[in-house]
Amino acid sequence: MTTPTRVVVVGASIGGLTAAETLRQEGFHGEIIVLGDEPRLPYTRPPLSKQILLGDWEPEQAAIRTAAELDGLDIQVRTGCTATALDLETRTVHTTDGPVPFDELIIATGTDPRPHPLLPWAPTLRTMEDALHLRDRVRASDRIAVIGTGILGSEIASAARAHDAETLLIGRSGMLGFGGVGTLLAPELARLHADNGVELALSADVTTAAPLASGGSDLTLGDGTTHRVDLAVAMIGGAPRTAWLTTSGLSVADGVACDSDGFAAPGVSAVGDVAAWADPETGRHVRVEHQSNAIEQAIAVATRLTHGASAAQPIPLFWSEIHHTRIHAYGWFAPERALVDMTHADGRGTVHGSRDADGRVHGVVGWNAAPRDFRTARAAVLASTPTLISQS
Ligand SMILES: Cc1cc2nc3c(=O)[nH]c(=O)nc-3n(C[C@H](O)[C@H](O)[C@H](O)COP(=O)(O)OP(=O)(O)OC[C@H]3O[C@@H](n4cnc5c(N)ncnc54)[C@H](O)[C@@H]3O)c2cc1C
């Protein structure tokens, strides 16, 4: 294997920076340049919808590394620099600051929130700037509508209630989702919101919307109800940030299509929310929008670049905190594999497993579970053994 002398990473967030740091830790001595279009040094996004929105943290507390730490690692992070095109023939990333040649490229450009087609004025949440703006708006609002029934919709509804706002959570699928767990937790999540005073309109899409001079919105839902709110927030999912790659020749139908080692083309890899790695068993391209996936894919790619060895596919791990309830999920879930109770008699909280007809555990969910209990349950996924199920 020829060792690259310059690795360029596009996307200065958890995926991109983890790849850069792992390259150094694994002994890569060449040049590492990380390009990021945001004005800040890299930070993590999970606190945006939790500690930042609640007002418990200041932005610095979400930072991943200080400028001094990045200098110490000899990693150049160029903030405010947007990649505009990729030329695979000349191995160059074109940017708003000029061309940047590379030997190896790692793409980690994440996703962009989708604006609501009927409420283009409704704020969404992806960046620190979005979170600070939303925090101020939530504080100033007595009545808030959140449109979107995924994890982020639930977290924002939870933060709105913590600020004492009357809160309406709107969705059209009839069910609340939880990332890769799908709707297997829908009844528990609906109960959790109802117990905390969130009004639910889960089978009633927005049919008309009008902005108010005050910044609020008048909404009509499919069930005929009308709602005047001080703030409507749209959290209806994200789209991979691949517009800069459209002329590159890479396959970017839903994210950057990669093989099961993260290769999108010779010398080009992709990690994190923007990357659609092939499942080694089915060959299907799958994108996972969770932080631990971005970290594990970044580690796998950086390790492969330095040592040439392929790493195992990461197992999805994700979490949330909604109305002070900690929910963790690990593994793979499917609607036909219902959750079964795996809680230990002396455990704290509950642990549920998703098992197949042969009793193999494919995924586990901890609901306020003690870390030790959740760790034990995770081992069941790794071992894919039916024995823990029989203890329930
Ligand atoms: C509010 C919020 C809360 C979340 N909470 C959780 C949680 O509790 N648990 C969990 O597991 N996951 C959570 N996630 C998801 C998690 O944050 C993502 O999975 C993770 O950030 C993905 O990392 P990434 O590096 O792939 O992409 P991103 O973090 O999206 O970073 C991509 C970076 O690339 C930059 N970029 C894009 N295009 C260009 C370009 N052309 N040129 C230069 N730079 C570019 C972007 O501006 C961005 O800085 C949350 C996400 C959000 C938005």
Q: What is the pLDDT of residue 392?
A: 30
Find residue 388's DSSP bridge partners: none
Q: What is the pLDDT of residue 308?
A: 87
Whether domain 115-234 has CATH 3.30.390.30: the reply is no
Q: What is the pLDDT of residue 310?
A: 66
Whether domain 6-112+238-307 has CATH 3.50.50.60: the reply is yes
Is the CB–ligand 1 distance for residue 17 below 6 Å? no
Contacts 24+ apart (CB under 8 A), 310-319: 310/261, 311/261, 313/260, 313/277, 313/279, 313/280, 315/381, 315/382, 316/180, 316/288, 316/290, 316/292, 317/290, 317/292, 317/293, 318/151, 318/179, 318/180, 318/290, 318/291, 318/292, 318/293, 319/46
Query: What are the start-end ranges of the H helices in 75-196?
Result: 128-139, 151-162, 186-195
Angle between helices 291-307 and 14-25 in degrees, nearest 10: 30
Instruction: In whole angstroms, give the CA distance from residue 278 to residue 297.
Output: 12
Q: What is the pLDDT of residue 387?
A: 36
Q: What is the pLDDT of residue 290?
A: 92
Residue ranges of domains in the chain: 6-112+238-307, 115-234, 324-391
Q: Which atom of ligand 1 is nearest to the CA of 272?
A: 26
Is the CB–ligand 1 distance for residue 51 below 6 Å? no
Backbone angles phi, psi at 114, to 5 degrees: -85, 125
Q: Are 249 and 89 in contact (CB under 8 A)?
A: no
Distance 361 CA to ligand 1 centre (A): 29
Q: Are 366 and 386 in contact (CB under 8 A)?
A: no
Q: Are 273 and 299 in contact (CB under 8 A)?
A: no
Is the CB–ligand 1 distance for residue 52 below 6 Å? no
Distance 110 CA to ligand 1 centre (A): 5
Nearest CA to ligand 1 atom 27: 110
Equal CATH topology for 6-112+238-307 and 324-391:
no
Q: Across the 392 residues of the chain, what is the mean pLDDT of every consecutive 10-residue run? A: 85 98 96 98 97 96 96 97 98 98 98 96 97 97 97 98 98 93 95 98 95 96 96 96 98 96 96 94 89 95 88 81 96 89 80 88 93 89 54 32
Is the CB–ligand 1 distance for residue 161 below 6 Å? no
| Amino acid symbol at 9 | V
Distance 13 CA to ligand 1 centre (A): 6
Q: Give the DSSP H or E segment for 85.
A: strand 83-87
pTM, full prediction = 0.93
Which residue among 45, 125, 299 has the greatest number of ligand 1 atoms within 8 angstroms of its CB, and so is best to mutate?
45
Instruction: In whole angstroms, give the CA distance from residue 242 to residue 274.
Output: 8
Which residue among 76, 109, 134, 293 has the greatest number of ligand 1 atoms within 8 angstroms of its CB, and so is best to mutate?
109
Nearest CA to ligand 1 atom 28: 110
Nearest of 130, 333, 316, 143 to residue 235 by alpha carbon: 130
Q: What is the pLDDT of residue 381?
A: 87
Is the CB–ligand 1 distance for residue 55 below 6 Å? no
Instruction: In whole angstroms, give the CA distance from residue 8 to residue 41.
Output: 16
Is the CB–ligand 1 distance for residue 275 below 6 Å? no
Question: Domain 324-391, what architecture?
Answer: 2-Layer Sandwich (3.30)
Tokens found for residue 159: 């933060």
Angle between helices 151-162 and 186-195 in degrees, nearest 10: 10
Instruction: In whole angstroms, give the CA distance from residue 107 to residue 239.
Output: 15
Q: Which atom of ligand 1 is nearest to the CA of 11?
A: 34
Q: What is the pLDDT of residue 83?
A: 98
Query: What are the start-end ranges of the H helices in 250-331?
Result: 291-307
Instruction: In whole angstroms, give the CA distance from residue 134 to residue 156.
Output: 10
